Amino acid sequence: MSAWIKGIFTRLLSYERCLHRLTLSCCMGIYIAFCPFVGFHTALVFLFAWLFALNFAVMLSVSMLVNNPWTMVPVYGAGHMFGDWMLSLCGLDHYEWNPSWITSLNEWAHQAIGLKGFSFWAFMIGGNILGIGLGVMCYPIIKRLFALVKERGKKKMMHTVAQSKKAAQHLALKAQPLIKRVKERVKSKKTA
């Protein structure tokens, strides 16, 4: 697993030269993953990639890595709980502001599975603020991680270049007698 993750980082760094753009693309992918606009994540990736000139593949990969069918419920649940906590902290009764379709959805969910208390505004506000907050908090961590990986790759490349240069010099030294003999043969054939 570690080699697989290292390979992904190496490929990302080789495709994207600008460390800032790569890091910003990852952080935007985190925001999009927590963004409560369900069903519009790919459209948001296209929009942000075009609008901010970011790496489309990185944003899409990160957003799908964080928010996929296996993690969707915890991601959206965290956004709703965060929004509920924030709005309750402000003393707002956000359940009264629910659109009528959410109220009917709440009644159905309570009867069908015993779940109640879904708030549209807690979901929207919490998902957006949580996504922005996590994206901003992850920026320095991700940038440092990519810088370390890039530096390690640069050191490996320099080591490989040095080894290649040594091997070429060694081969050139071994080939000197052969080259000398070939030159002598060519010279002897020209004079003959």
**pLDDT at 84 (0 to 100):** 82
Banded pLDDT at 47 (limits 50, 70, 90): very high
Share of the chain above pLDDT 70, in %: 81
Amino acid at 188: S
Average pLDDT over residues 57-82: 88
Note whether 123 and 80 are within 8 A (CB): yes
What is the residue-wise DSSP string for 48-94? Answer: HHHHHT--HHHHHHHHHHHSSTTTHHHHHHHHHHHHHHHHHHTT--T
CA distance 63 to 40: 12
- pLDDT digit string (tens) for 113-165? 666 677 777 788 889 999 999 999 999 999 998 888 778 766 776 777 778 77
Amino acid at 88: S
**Which residues have C-beta within 8 Å of that of residue 135, sequence separation ≥ 6?**
27, 28, 30, 31
Q: What is the mean pLDDT of the chain?
A: 81
In the chain, where the domains are located: 2-161
CA distance 79 to 123: 6
Q: What pTM was estimated for this model as a whole? A: 0.71
**pLDDT over 90 at 51, yes or no:** yes
Average pLDDT over residues 40-63: 91
**pLDDT over 80 at 16, yes or no:** no
**pLDDT over 70 at 168, yes or no:** yes
Q: Which residues of 138-164 are buried (b: 16+ CB within 10 A; e: fewer)?
A: bbeebbeebeeebeeeeeeeeeeeeee
**pLDDT at 95 (0 to 100):** 65
